[in-house]
Structure 1
Amino acid sequence: MIPGHTKFICDSFFGHIKKTYRNQKVNTVDDIEDIVNNSSKGNEGLRYNGGIGWKWFDFQNFFSKNNFINLPHITKYHHFRFSNLSEDLGKVYCSKNSGGVEICHKLLRDDNNFNINEKLDILDVMHISEERKKYLYQKIRQHIEDPYKDVYYL
């Protein structure tokens, strides 16, 4: 398909959420969770609970320390294939068309120093800043209905 006209299954799930959201009043995070859960059988709201059960991996550090190279002219390709063969470590095969001629690009500068079993670093959870709390109180709270104004924006 041409760029911008893809058929990605997640897009349809977001579409269901948007349809349900359009006709609802939203005052709390509970309301958003209900909208997601009621939008379709395939959607399930997962709540962020102060970092419990969530892991944020530091991909930026991983890619920079392992010296990965940016893929040149990435926007001209529409199909990407990776292989798990040892000789294909750090390589991506790209083509402009489905079933088209594949061009191999090496993305890893030095595959001799790359450890495929290395664990990604986990980032610490950053709590909401006082500045952000103040912004939410001043700019967002006014749009919340009265019984819910102080539920999350104290």
Structure 2
Amino acid sequence: MEPKHTDPMLSSRCWTPTGVENRHAPSMRIIVQVRTRNAIGYFTWRVMTGRHDVIEYHMQIPSHARCLVDNGFGHLKKLYRRSNIDSMDSLTQMVNMSSASNDAVRYPARKWRDWKGFLSRLFCPVPAIRHYQNFSKTTEEPGVVTMRTGVGCPEVKIIVAMGGVHIPYHRPQIVEAK
């Protein structure tokens, strides 16, 4: 099951806050905490459509680099599981109640896209994805993800693009609120 935050993460990464697309940046190197089929597919889609030549991303090793920010999220996560959130106001209230150091900051509504449905038709899941920490994609090998379990470990290459499927340049359709 995909985490709840995958689609919002992808929608917020595709466009800058001013609405101008990040066009043809030669490479992108990021550290992310989302390691799912959708994240792999999204970054592969960006390379295959020419938005980037190379994308590398590295996962934080679980249980390493704990800090006070992680502690604040831990309190929030516990309260979220016990709460019935049905509106933005109730979510804001829950964040404010979770800890003395947590303050909810609301941003204007943005348009969300159906990334999960869009990417699932184009890319296959990566088997045993949780074992890998480093991922990269290049235009030299479109549809191929190079993975490593750690720094200095041997590379594993896997084809994630489904065979015979055209990779569209356009983004997925906007999801209407229900």
Q: TM-score, normalised by structure 2?
A: 0.45
The residue that corresponds to 1:139 in the other structure is none
1:14-40 superposed Cα distances (whole Å, 9 cap, x missing partner): 146579x7xxxxxx7353354479625
Is 1:80 equivalent to 2:134 in the alignment? yes
Select 1:46's aligned residue among 97, 102, 106: 106
- Which has the larger share of helix? 1
SS in 2 for 1:56: coil
Q: Report the Cα offset of residue 71 of structure 1.
A: 0.8
Identical amino acids, percent of aligned pairs: 20
RMSD: 3.8
- Classify 1:37/1:53 alpha carbon distance in 2 versus 1 (closer, same or farther; 3 Å): farther
Is 1:32 equivalent to 2:81 in the alignment? no
Inter-partner Cα distance in structure 1 for 2:143 and 2:72: 33
1:18-68 superposed Cα distances (whole Å, 9 cap, x missing partner): 79x7xxxxxx7353354479625xx64326xxxx623332123212332x1
Inter-partner Cα distance in structure 2 for 1:8 and 1:54: 31
- Classify 1:63/1:123 alpha carbon distance in 2 versus 1 (closer, same or farther; 3 Å): same
Select 1:5's aligned residue among 42, 46, 63: 63
Q: Report the Cα offset of residue 6 of structure 1.
A: 4.0
The answer for unaligned runs of 5 or more in structure 2 is 1-58, 80-88
Inter-partner Cα distance in structure 2 for 1:71 and 1:2: 18
The alignment covers a number of residue pairs equal to: 109
Q: Report the Cα offset of residue 108 of structure 1.
A: 0.3
